[in-house]
Structure 1
Amino acid sequence: MLTSKKRKVLIYGFSVTAESPGYVGPLIKLLSDFDLVKVGNGGIQPHHALFYIVDEIKKHAPDELILEFSTAAFRSFYDKNEYKKILFFICSAAIKLGVRPHILDLPRSDVSYDNDWVLNFHRCLSQQYGIGWVDVCTESFRSGAISGYLRDGIHTNELGANYYSSVLSEYFLDSIATNASSLPVSPISNFGADMLDCARAVSLASLAENSSLEYFERSGFEGTFLPIDVGQEIRVSFSETLNVKGVSFLMGPLTSSFHLDFGGCTRSVNAYDRFCYYTRFSVQCFDNLSAASVIIRSDENRSDVVLLKGVEESPVKNYLGDILVLSNQYDEIKLPNDYLAA
């Protein structure tokens, strides 16, 4: 007897999605007819996820993509138009790969949802292009229920996790199950296959010679990292000149700071803060620079940081992941005039 294949759903988000069991745990139990996979990349922002999400889509090959971006802190410091451009790109890339994107808006207690530009933008994307949209914010904010769902203003308690999962379950059964054959309109009308590599992460571990490597996995996100001891110097050559936008690395009880020399353009990164009682993934972005190689040096500087709990460990060792690359083709993407922020 033939059985129909379960629709695969990739839920990609940040620390709220990363929690275990969080809202994804009870959702898996409610939706046994779906194949749910989560990647919770806690501690980063949408403009960091830009460099990783296409690879995650290719890796997991889902039918549906749920984007949980709204709980990150970017509202307070990131350019509105740049965020909109990121969503245009990610949704268009997903559609090009045959995947239906959906935006999941989960609440923060420090945001007023009567006139939130992020929520309003997501609503417009849904209305104009047919991008899926799940709004958990508006009703929970207006009813005051939000105060009973969050333990710290962002992350859920058990009541909040169960509420999120129930709303999502209804959405899955109503929208995803009944519209399984249709893709929305691409926000970037001329998005070609060549544009999938506009934003990418180039693995330092794959380029470094004769080096031991460190594997890291947390909440569905995984990567291989290049360890660097204090006083060690590692030179990595790229196969071509890259437009470098940043670097990814681990932060934890062993890490400190390190320095990157891109052919005379030096960037320093602090990989140690008061939350380094556990190991986590992190990203630092730079102003654009062009480079064909990088020299990496590690030092012991921890700037007298005192951990919130636990104790610092030694010997100091840093772990570098990827060089983040943004092509000129991405820079040429333009938002429609009616989406430009004043």
Structure 2
Amino acid sequence: MNRFIVASHGWSASNYVAHVLNLHPQIACAHSSAAILAEDKAMFDGDNLRQLIPELRKGYLARQQLGLEDRYSTLETQVAELGSHLSNNAQTKWLGTVHTYRMRDLPVQLEKFEFSCGRKYQLVNLVRHPLDLVVSGFGQFLDLFKVDINEYAWSLNKIIAVRNGIDFVEKAVEDTEYKPGDYEVICFASACAVLGSLRLDVDATEKLTVYEGAPFDYLGPVLMEDIISSPEAVARLAYLLTSGQAEISDSYLEDVAGVKKVNRHNHASPDGTLARWGMLPPWQKKLFANFFSHFELRTPYENMGYNFDFLAEIE
């Protein structure tokens, strides 16, 4: 099977993207650090997510401790064994993953593991507006930290590890009713600290260009906002990942159109970046702006087409 990678930090409609790609009759696609075939769109909803936490934890380690080629070979075996039991019920020609790897994992893979000579992985980076990503992550953390203390501890350490991170939190809430250690404050600050991971992805993307003969054919960033806009946008992604060979039928477009939003992390959040910015209280705006500036993300994300004029409100 030909192979592709949709790298993604997460909180970027990765579950949706994996599921709708997997609907294509010629594509099998897995999702998450655990590399689970994306047959069930509700796989990461509510109690399902809670039950998958142990597998996801193993996957976090596997991203850089197991060879990418070996994981894809295991997936290929699973697809072959499932055969006609897969919902697409057709000959699979392409095998891919979404959010199984982040861009920052790939240089590590190149340094630690061997790749088959001549094999190329079509590669894109699924991205989202950083503010929308933080708001989504905040919603997930409000639920997740209550059941996953490992993630809670890991995220708290991310805040502490950021130079001036604690100061950012303390100054943001100093004139409010909140205390720096309040649960809501920690959840939002943790989501902001994740912006550091986006910086790692930006740096990794630049680093990949120096590897001669790397097995990745990097096709650039793919904006979540574009992909979820229409079935035709999904079809264009499938076409891109398969080097223009995937057959796009009317029935596939209809199947994609029938998939509604899945795995929404922050149900209280309005649609649209400006609407989300407008709903944030001043302390959250300050936190986002400070972490965003610290990690110097504005220029690379503006180059991808995102707008941050709203930050003038507090600059």
Fold-level similarity (TM above 0.5): no
* TM-score w.r.t. length of structure 2: 0.31
Select the structure with the greater relative contact order (CA < 8 A; seq sep ≥ 6): 2
* TM-score w.r.t. length of structure 1: 0.29
Greater helix share, structure number: 2
Indicate the structure (1 or 2) with the bigger Cα radius of gyration: 1
